[in-house]
Amino acid sequence: MPKVTFHIAGHATEVEDIAGKTILQIALDQGVSIEHACGGNGFCTTCLCTVKSGGENLAPRNDKEENMGITNENERLGCQAVVNGDVELEVLDA
Ligand code: FES
């Protein structure tokens, strides 16, 4: 079963219930704390995640990410990136 692995403050958490959800939705549904100051609307970048592996399993970058200047290959907005398969992420502790 596909899974997302969150690395937060040196602690890893694996989540398997990921179908068609954004990184932020997956985290919040499982009680994984990720900052989301704009409420997940793509206007703040506090949900910024570093992709450690599996970037090819995220939906393509959208206009909101590009408008916020998130163009680095290994960076995605958690509230905008939809997960389609195994992904490993580093996120800041909220
Ligand atoms: S929560 Fe604000 S950009 Fe993602």
In this prediction the pTM is: 0.94
Give the phi and the psi of residue 16 in degrees, each rounded to 5: -105, -15
The per-residue pLDDT for 76 is: 97
Question: Residue 1's pLDDT is what?
Answer: 83
Q: 76 CB less than 6 Å from ligand 1?
A: no
Ligand 1 pocket, residue 84 CB under 6 Å: no
| pLDDT per 10-residue tile (average), the chain, 94 residues | 92 89 94 94 96 96 95 95 96 76
The domain 4-91 is placed in CATH, from the list 3.20.20.100, 3.10.20.30, 1.20.120.80, 3.30.1490.20, at 3.10.20.30
- So where are the chain's domains? 4-91
Amino acid 19: pLDDT? 80
Atom of ligand 1 at shortest distance to CA of 36?
Answer: 1
pLDDT value at residue 55: 96
**What pLDDT was estimated at residue 92?**
79
